[in-house]
Structure 1
Amino acid sequence: MDEATLKMLGEVVTSLVTWMLVMIGWLVISERQVQMEIAKNNYSKFSKLRESVSKIEVAAIAYHTGEYDARAGRNIMRSLSTLGLEVSQLNRAKLVGMSAGDYVFKFKKAITFSNFDPGEFALHDASSELIQGVEEAADDLDRFLLESAEVVIKQPEYTIASLLKGIVRRIY
């Protein structure tokens, strides 16, 4: 091979390596962006759940401290059921630990275990043991969801293996 051919071959190899590095860099940055979007989406799910817990807590306290209202009781039960389903979905997605169900159960029990049936309903004041139990269970569930959300937002790891898996997923 003459000198001109070697020089041209060197330029082609240099160009190929440069383009490969650019493509790999783009894939890595793109994969990191996808992982961050997933983490933000999951974090927003936790935020919405925390808002739901707060609304249910307010409704439950109003229910127990006001006159008996069957419709409010049904609404609370429906909200608790929805909350349980949403936490179960997070559990199946491995975004919360197995204890998530326990926190939801404790919250539901604090609200509905006593003073929920029309025959045994009695007005409670804001300092009653029942209301304090509702507030404590809501605080425990809220704290659990907040801690789980913090783990989720920190969770994306950018190891070489995870990046390669993402790159392969995009190629195929």
Structure 2
Amino acid sequence: MTSLPNAHILSIYVLLIVFFYDNTNGFNAEEDRLRYSFLHFLSAALFSAALGDFLISALPNPHLAFSVGAVAFGFCHIFYMFEYFPRIKRILLKLAIPLYLYTLTICYYFLLPKITQHPFVISTLIAYAGVLSTAIIASSSLALETRKMVGNVFVLTKMDEYAGIEPANEIIVLSTYYLSQYAIMESSLVVGFEN
């Protein structure tokens, strides 16, 4: 029986999710800390992130693995945004306009020319770029949500690190991804408790 590639990374990630769960008493350290529905969104976000990491590690085709993983990561960000979108009072246009223009420029010049070669991969990356840009803008628009913004920026950094896959990059990617998940989850629990 062959083992999964990068199974050690997957096991480390699963242990980190268990650590989150244990340190928050099942994501419910305080009875009134977060509304019950938001706990489901946070749990679904962590599960989606773990699923994305698993798919990237387990699928033999790297293009398919990255695309399906990006779909799972996109759902992860969407679940996190369900938790903090209701608290946004106004969108930071000074960040939204340049970031969306940057995302559109990158997608137009670097991704769209290759869409006929890899339609699923490229369309998935374009959608993921939009979701990630929205997550960064939304988390930045919350005045007290700097940890969420830092977490989303770590995810963006992680995606840039995938460009050159080398053994050391796996450790860097896992580290930045863990930091991003921790920052987003921890700020959700703290801010949920303060509100």
Task: State which structure, 1 or 2, has the greater radius of gyration over its C-alpha atoms.
Answer: 1
**TM superposition score normalised by structure 2:** 0.41
Higher relative contact order (CA 8 A, sep 6+): 1
